[in-house]
Structure 1
């Protein structure tokens, strides 16, 4: 029989390692993905931008997710400073998600998802979408550069479920 105190300690150790390895990923995967994030904290600046104000959205781009592990469209051109609504539509029969990030961050997160498929996380640059549903990300792309978006559900990233974002510098 397993000692319950040992199991609690092991669970705490794993949660602590996840938090140290990937800060900010300690909320549960669930139906809250794709919904507006309520937080008293100011938005966190990321290399690929910052959470956007829905009132400043001027354009919505629909990204279709399918069970053949495709994201359509798989490439987006955006102007620096633009606040977009990325509407993720799950046209498949399994759970999918869209996560925005640098190639390095997406790769690292995909590796964690393989090791911890039920890993807890919920950030404004993510939309976790059940089959037949939609989820929105409202994001201000205030940094120019090449970034990515992908489904990081275990195995989906490796199967090619990813795309590119090119944020072009704002005209001076």
Structure 2
């Protein structure tokens, strides 16, 4: 039963959360790791990022090395507050689908916080501005920042942003 529930959750996670084709980002674009001019390590623990704030320069390409030292999957997502709010709603809807599918297969998820099914190491979103990292795993995201605009890096797994898993990213001119 548990394997079926995990398989269902993984199938749901393979669906795109936001439409990637043609998606524009005012703050920059994805880049190849070889183009990076700087590497920044970001440690993700349960309900925190270290460091909590980052500064980059417009035109700079940064390779983020993401290390999940927590016990549950975490997401590293670049965006403004409105983008994070939209993504959180999509994540909540997806979690509701996982909870509902688990109940249909004989399992019950009363707490709504069953993150065990949400991270498997190979799981990725379709949007280039985010990556999901399983507990004890590492991942990378490389980004070229284009203009000075206020953005955040955040984990939008339901409840994580609200628990403080968000940091300020300043793009200097």
What TM-score does the superposition give when structure 2 sets the normalisation length? 0.70
C-alpha displacement of 1:44: 5.0
CA RMSD of aligned residues (A): 2.4
Match of 2:27 in 1: 48
**Structure showing greater relative contact order (alpha-carbon pairs closer than 8 Å, 6 or more residues apart):** 2
Query: 1:7-86 to 2 correspondence within 5 Å?
Result: 23-24=18-19, 45-67=24-46, 69-86=47-64
When residues 44 and 113 of structure 1 are mapped into structure 2, their CA distance, relative to the original with a 3 A threshold, is closer
Match of 1:107 in 2: 85
What number of residue pairs does the alignment pair up? 134
Could you tell me which runs of 5 or more consecutive residues in structure 1 were left unpaired when the two chains were aligned. Answer: 1-14, 26-40
C-alpha displacement of 1:164: 0.8
C-alpha displacement of 1:122: 2.1
Q: Is 1:133 equivalent to 2:137 in the alignment?
A: yes
C-alpha displacement of 1:71: 0.5
The answer on whether the counterparts of 1:114 and 1:155 sit within 8 Å (CA) in structure 2 is no
Rounded to whole Å, the distance in 1 between the matches of 2:159 and 2:28 is: 26
Q: Deviations over 1:82-111 (max 9, x none)?
A: 000111100011111100001110111112
Could you tell me which runs of 5 or more consecutive residues in structure 2 were left unpaired when the two chains were aligned. Answer: 1-11, 99-117, 119-123
Structure 1 runs (4+) greater than 4 angstroms displaced: none
